[in-house]
Amino acid sequence: MRSELPKVLHTLAGRPLLGHVLDLARSLSPKRIVVVYGHGGERVRQALESDDLVWALQEPQRGTGDAVARAAALLEDDTPTLVLYGDVPLTTRDTLSRLCAAAGSQRLGLLTVTLDDPSGYGRIVRAGGKVARIVEHRDADQATRAIREVNTGILVAPTARLKGWLARLGNDNAQHEYYLTDVIAMAVADGVDVVTEQPAQAWETLGVNSRAQLAELERVHQRNLALGLMEAGVSLADPARIDVRGTLACGRDVHIDVNCVFEGDVHLAEGASVGANCVIRDARVGAHASVLAFSHVDGAVIGARARIGPYARLRPGTELGEDTHVGNFVEMKNTRMAAHSKANHLAYVGDAVVGERVNIGAGTITCNYDGANKFQTVIEDDAFIGSDTQLVAPVRVGRGATLGAGTTLTRDAPDGKLTVSRARQATIDGWKRPSKKAR
């Protein structure tokens, strides 16, 4: 990876590679999950520490067989052990369930895959149709390298027998490492049936050893997510240009334009639409609401039939009622704006409570921060805020009040009246514009 970051902490869809594998393991309801980590792996442990994980240190790192052996003392003999890999993030629960079912409690189950180009993989050598052993690519002769069925490394085995096989592993091979794959031949020699399953798609078994491979898996994963969304009734302008880095739940007839990024937990209700190049994080978008192009929504709730953007920014704590409008270059933070209100142009509204049917004019600013503390602005129903107004919090604008353009409001504005704070206009006779002086 050419990186200071441990490989399994590089992200796919916004989550560490190992995080995907741990979630997969949890989905199988195991008795215990043991994570084997190596030199420098304390960063891994710190990033993913959880009460349901047990950690085993492998140092020095001497191969996959040695890695599993480091975990052996933590494994329960009466429960089969499933071996997964922290850099293989896309294996599905269905595939692993089939593998575990085929192996049961007495057989060794091996996940294999047939590849057009098996270069670099351990080959599955069969005798009479049954698995006899696995030969690593570097140790294989020409005839063995012609075999296209390869080992994925993922296996499930009876734990008591697995411990015995691990204790007998040697390192007489090209890498001088202890190969987990050598237990296959031991199982055959001990009369243990070796059964195989294959994944529905080869990408389920692909690992990451470079940034290029990580990018390839990212697109595979995003394509799978896109197909799932379309099958659920979502329209995607281009399934190849969407990134989901968390959970995206959508109602029917949602439309998503190109180059949108969804992070955290996002819910788009029925009929909602998202324009091109939007970033939406930890947000809820109501039914038939529109988020127009180039808008950023972070930690906000958007009501039904609302219209956001283009080029709007909603920050955490923002809650918008139905049929609200937040237009171009408007930023809102920690603000509740009730139904049918709008701020259509060039405004900042922070730490505010805005009532129904309020109009916030262009250039309006809630001055909510004095350099040390935040203060709230309250704008009641049916108020009209003229353009280029500064509301110096804490301050209240009464029901039906109007603020004239250019007002700097430092005291509460009463209900139903016009409040203006503006220097008197004057015209200066005989005034001349400055001119440039000759050099």
Residues labelled catalytic: 345
Q: How far apart are CA 347 and CA 267, in angstroms?
A: 26
Instruction: Strands of 232-272 (E only): list them.
Output: 235-236, 242-250, 255-256, 260-268
- Does residue 310 have a cis peptide bond before it, meaning omega lies within 30 degrees of 0? yes
- Side chain identity at residue 29, one-letter code: S
Q: Phi/psi at 103 (nearest 5 deg)?
A: -80, -35
CB atoms within 10 A of CB 131: 22
- CA contacts within 13 A on the Cβ side of 241: 11
Residue 135: C-alpha distances to residues 84, 113, 172, 198 (Å)? 20, 15, 13, 18
Q: Phi/psi at 332 (nearest 5 deg)?
A: -130, 140
CB 381 within 8 A of CB 397: no
DSSP string, 68-117: HHHHGGGS-TTS-EEE--TT-----HHHHHHHHHHHTTTSEEEEEEE-S-
Q: Ramachandran region of residue 344, left (φ > 0), alpha (ψ -120 to 50) or beta?
A: alpha
End-to-end CA distance of the chain: 61
Q: Phi/psi at 147 (nearest 5 deg)?
A: -70, 135
Q: Ramachandran region of residue 191, left (φ > 0), alpha (ψ -120 to 50) or beta?
A: left
Q: How far apart are CA 266 and CA 225, in angstroms?
A: 14
Cβ neighbours of residue 360 under 8 Å, at least 6 residues apart? Answer: 341, 342, 343, 344, 347, 349, 354, 379, 385
Q: How far apart are CA 345 and CA 114, in angstroms?
A: 58
Residue 202 has which token pair?
Answer: 């080869």
